[in-house]
Amino acid sequence: MNNDQTQLNIRATIVTKAQLNSIGVNLPDDQMQALIQHVEETINERISEEVVESLTDEQLAELVKMQDSNVSAEEIDAWIRERIPEYDEIIEDNVAIVLGELVENSDAIQA
């Protein structure tokens, strides 16, 4: 299995309007919701990439099988945490990086 081509559906983060407001992003509610969705998708894609890189081919095959079998998000999260001890750090790092990118581009976002 080629880890570089595997897509996972990991929903690991929730970004709030308050978080975005705290970094200086202030938009009307409809635009804010669209931005939150985009930010969460970006963060989750990056987390998924790191998870894929951290797993062996066998583990990755098992994870894909779990997702294909509609195993609950909670069970998948627990499974990942068992195999990737630094999972929380991966999440925190990616949230910080993406929010940092938003800060750098906040003027363009609000234009």
Give the start-to-end residue ranges of the domains of the chain: 25-109
Asked if 67 contacts 51 with a C-beta cutoff of 8 angstroms, the reply is no
> Distance between CA atoms of 1 and 103, rounded to whole angstroms?
37
Task: Classify burial at 85, counting beta carbons within 10 Å of its beta carbon; exposed 0-12, middle 13-18, buried 19 or more.
Answer: exposed
Tell me: pLDDT of 24 over 90.
no
Q: What's the pLDDT at 109?
A: 76
Band of pLDDT at residue 2, cut at 50, 70 and 90 = very low
